[in-house]
Structure 1
Amino acid sequence: MAKRITQKTFDDVVCENMQEFDMSAEEALQEAEQQFLAQGIDLSNIVKDISSHTGEGTTHPVVAAVQNLSGVLDSGDIDPTTVKAALAQIKTECDIDLPHRCLAGSNKAYPVLFKLCQKLSSDKELLKCCVDALSSLLNGQPDLVDQTGIEYFTNLLKDSEESEELCEALVRMIRLTCVMHEKNRQAYVEQNLISVLISVLTAHQKSAGIVKEVCFALRVLTFDDDPRVPFGKAHEHAKMIVAEANALKVILETCNGFTGDVAVLGELFATLSKLAVRNEFCQEIADRGGLQLLMTTLTENMHHQGLAKHSIGLMRTIAGNDNVKAAIVNAGGVELIVGAMGTHQAQPQICENGCAALGTLALRLPPHCAKIVKCGGHEVIIQGMKIHKDVSAVQKQACMALRNLVARTREYCDPILELGAEGLINLAYQQHKDCTDEAKSALRDLGCKVDLIERWKGERGEISQ
């Protein structure tokens, strides 16, 4: 892991280059950057701003902004105009990039903003500005939040349910503190955040902004993206969201209010996909009208790339339930999936989701395989492999789909091989290590030559004492 230095160390070297070697600010900064990179130093947290070295001193604007707000707090004179200007400055600086946020964080920006939040609890307008500044600061820096902050922000969201703008800002900020941070996610869940989020969604089902933010926040609670934690609670959180907060009912009711808004509907479908982690949850989505809504939406918005991706993704997920799988095929789901894959051939995510959905529908069900082949499903799968040769996820799902199509219906081997499947599968096997098992299975069931390793022969032997 590459070493890092502080902003002060970097700035001191820049100043030294300017003073001792008579370099311009630009030359001094470039020289300092090259020196540290040559030493293997990671400068991703360092602000490399020439303007900070063109005047007296080396105070960065983001540091000055934090110091300015801290001074306002210390004075006790919370003038709205002054505070709003200081918050806007911090937000602007933090929005530049992660190094600016890191610099602000290392100069006590979080405790200053948190203290201000507590002081502004009765002023919703200023509080919203403070939360926006916190969102900018905490984006990519979830470690700055402590347990006290988690408890406070959860309660603040609960108490601010009537204020639409503040609710949206708080949900966004909380969501950012959970990205790639399993400890924060679990701490928020322990503070009953799930119920609070569903309550906010119920209260503001007609607000597109809040609906999208709550959906995103719920999905983040089901992420397993923290490399520091070997085992997270993504699955448990998804079950809690559905079982304890009745989320599927609320989300599907919300869907009915946004049938004409493809952006919001896409977020809702993406969230349902993350929550359908159990067989009964898939069935519940179908029973509550989710399947019919899905079919109607995809039919009416076939050419909308984002909604097509999320629609097929949700279909792929709920098809894990055998009853729902049959319902999808009977309702014309195969035709819709094949149509979307043909319409959006250049989009790898649609191709991946489409291959996965067709593979799931085909699994152990010859009548479904017949329907897929009749609709040209094998052709769009092969076409996807040709177009997205470098996309591992597409190749993997395509191999699985082809294998499922012929595993119990060998009569489809020849039509698939005539399209060049063998060469494409071998190419995927050679180029993508995570496709190895899927590619071998597809080649085996298609009747092609494949090198299978016999890992264990089942020979008896003496048991050593």
Structure 2
Amino acid sequence: MASTTGAAKRHITQETFNECVRENMEEFDMIEEDAIADAVTQFESQGVDLSTIVKALDVVHPVLAALKVIEADESDDETCLHVQLVALQDQFKDAVGSSGAKELAGQINGPTILLQRLPAVQDVATRILLLSTLQSMVRCRSQIFLEVQSNDRSRRHLRRWGVVIACRHPDGRVLVVERFICAKNEVNKKRLTSHGIIARLVVLFRDRSMVPEGGTKDIADVIRVLTLHDDTYVVLLASVSIYISSQDRQHHFIHTHDIVKLFVEHGVIDAVLPYLRGVSSDPDTLSSWLAVVKQLAITEDTCRKLVAAGILDLLPTFQQHAHVQYIA
């Protein structure tokens, strides 16, 4: 019999599992414990992942419980919020169940629920905890962030995220979250760039006094992710000409060029090159920004602008650092 270990797991909702348990109890006169055991056996034999399913009819999964409390809480007292965020962190750090917990959070718009609370949070420690929780929630799960219909709620969600990036909460975790949600996800990149993220990132970099020490590297890492064509699903589709038209394939790759063009139009070259002259003593930061420059140099026009801005004069300085020679 072939092993199913490497096969993709299927998922069901808590409601589907509970319905199966109730059917076992009603139709086969099972007690709850036996009905649950039978349901688990049925679903697991079909390759269903039950890691996010609570095996009891009257118990709510901790992720759902915490997010529902956060969503319903309208008080100014942030103690309750802090407690629920800690509960979420515990779920996302669980080595066994974290993947399923994140998937479950995405099913009920967990990132949106957290972002709705962020602007009103006054306590610095709670704000940092919220951002850290959001970071944990979307890490390796970028698809749960913005893959929603284009409606009023999602547009408000995007605008709210734009406010966060616009220096209102210049904590490095915001930038890390931004990188996580855009990595290998063209949908998220497109929606965020269409709501002004590029301009805000450039403004944030220009006004570096708002950024914590070492934060410019985080900005560079976000820009690099935005300018990478790294969505493996889109690349795969674009390579299979029998399924999509030549025009559609070209569109997927043009979007990355459009993002680069927008960064250039917002003056990122003129902002970055003078900065590189003074950051050569920090190899990690220098490496990140050189990776950005490399991504920008994907069109002939951008290459000309880089040369005009003096990039060639800086190369000898860059080459003194073995850590960044492969990029330069």
Q: TM-score by structure 1 length?
A: 0.52
Which amino acid is the alignment partner of residue 134 of structure 1?
Answer: L
Which amino acid is the alignment partner of residue 12 of structure 2?
Answer: I
2 CA distance for matches of 1:135 and 1:14? 35
Q: Which residue of 2 aligns with 1:6?
A: 13
2 CA distance for matches of 1:187 and 1:279? 27
Q: Which residue of 1 aligns with 2:290?
A: 269
- Equivalent positions of 1:86-125 (< 5 A) are 86-96=84-94, 97-120=98-121
2 CA distance for matches of 1:183 and 1:262? 32
Pair 210,5 (structure 1): closer, same or farther in 2 beyond 3 Å: same
Pair 13,288 (structure 1): closer, same or farther in 2 beyond 3 Å: same
1:83-102 deviations in Å (ceiling 9; x for gaps): 12212322332354332111
Contact 1:195 1:245 in 2 (8 A): yes
User: For structure 2, which runs of at least 5 residues remain unmatched after alignment?
Assistant: 1-7, 149-153, 238-247
Question: Larger deviation: 231-240 or 76-85?
Answer: 76-85
2 CA distance for matches of 1:7 and 1:258? 52
**Is 2:248 aligned against 1:248?**
no
User: For structure 1, which runs of at least 5 residues remain unmatched after alignment?
Assistant: 302-306, 316-465
Contact 2:147 2:188 in 1 (8 A): no
- Once the two structures are TM-superposed, the CA of residue 234 in structure 1 deviates from its matched residue by 0.4
Structure scoring higher RCO (CA < 8 A, sep ≥ 6) equals 2
RMSD: 3.7
1:232-265 deviations in Å (ceiling 9; x for gaps): 31011112211x1221232223333432322222
Q: Which residue of 1 aligns with 2:45?
A: 35
Pair 209,60 (structure 1): closer, same or farther in 2 beyond 3 Å: farther
1:246-296 deviations in Å (ceiling 9; x for gaps): 212322233334323222222111111111122243344345453454444
- Once the two structures are TM-superposed, the CA of residue 197 in structure 1 deviates from its matched residue by 0.3
**Is 2:227 aligned against 1:210?**
no
- Equivalent positions of 1:151-300 (< 5 A) are 151-158=159-166, 160=168, 164-165=170-171, 168-204=172-208, 207-224=212-229, 225=231, 227=234, 230=249, 231-232=251-252, 233-242=255-264, 244-300=265-321
Which amino acid is the alignment partner of residue 84 of structure 2?
Answer: A
2 CA distance for matches of 1:290 and 1:119? 43
1:112-161 deviations in Å (ceiling 9; x for gaps): 323323443x655544433333333334212356222111221333251x
Q: Which residue of 1 aligns with 2:64?
A: 63
2 CA distance for matches of 1:250 and 1:127? 30
- Equivalent positions of 1:337-416 (< 5 A) are none
SS in 2 for 1:214: helix
1:315-349 deviations in Å (ceiling 9; x for gaps): 4xxxxxxxxxxxxxxxxxxxxxxxxxxxxxxxxxx
Contact 2:114 2:130 in 1 (8 A): yes
1:181-232 deviations in Å (ceiling 9; x for gaps): 4343233223322121011112227745421221122122223325278423
SS in 2 for 1:177: helix
2 CA distance for matches of 1:296 and 1:111? 44
- Once the two structures are TM-superposed, the CA of residue 103 in structure 1 deviates from its matched residue by 0.9
- Percent of aligned positions with the same letter in both sequences? 19
Pair 14,216 (structure 1): closer, same or farther in 2 beyond 3 Å: farther
Pair 297,192 (structure 1): closer, same or farther in 2 beyond 3 Å: same
Q: Which residue of 1 aligns with 2:77?
A: 79
1 CA distance for matches of 2:127 and 2:224? 26
Pair 7,264 (structure 1): closer, same or farther in 2 beyond 3 Å: farther
Pair 56,247 (structure 1): closer, same or farther in 2 beyond 3 Å: same
Which amino acid is the alignment partner of residue 217 of structure 1?
Answer: V
Which amino acid is the alignment partner of residue 237 of structure 1?
Answer: I
Q: Which protein has the larger Cα radius of gyration, Structure 1 or Structure 2?
A: 1
Pair 189,20 (structure 1): closer, same or farther in 2 beyond 3 Å: same
Contact 1:7 1:47 in 2 (8 A): no
Contact 2:66 2:88 in 1 (8 A): yes
Question: Larger deviation: 222-231 or 188-197?
Answer: 222-231
Which amino acid is the alignment partner of residue 207 of structure 2?
Answer: A
Q: Which residue of 2 aligns with 1:142?
A: 145
Contact 2:220 2:289 in 1 (8 A): yes
1:404-435 deviations in Å (ceiling 9; x for gaps): xxxxxxxxxxxxxxxxxxxxxxxxxxxxxxxx
